[in-house]
Amino acid sequence: MYALDFSQVGANIQNELEVKGFTQQSLAEALGVSKQVMNKIIKGSKAINVNELAKIASILGTSTDDLLTVGSEPVSAESLSFMGNVTCEETREKINLMRQAIDEIHMLEDLLHA
């Protein structure tokens, strides 16, 4: 499931920092921002754009998908609350097909980065 807010992305970045043995300061320097800005990114109080996220992923040696993903449970049609309740079986099947296609794209991206 993808992060729903910047604080979840920040938590993933912090986790990667710890795993890789980096500090917020070293990431800030590599990114060309102040430690205060990096702290705001980690806390989720500063929005980051796609380019910044891609740079952070590259510096940390991970993928943007890893920084955006929360948990390992697959997304189900029922969990798409922004759509309301999905009651039509045909719509549910279409959503599941889209989810499968996205999962396959992620798998291909992982293979490319391996």
pLDDT confidence of residue 26: 95
Strand partners of residue 69: 2
Residue 69 near residue 2 (C-beta atoms within 8 A): yes
In the DSSP assignment, the letter for residue 82 is G
Whole-number mean pLDDT of the chain? 82
Nearest to 97 by CA among 77, 69, 71, 68: 77
DSSP 22: -
pTM, rounded to two decimals? 0.61
User: What would the pLDDT profile of 30-68 be if each residue is shown by its tens digit?
Assistant: 999 999 999 999 998 998 888 899 999 999 999 888 888
Q: Dihedral of CA 5/10/13/18: which sign?
A: negative
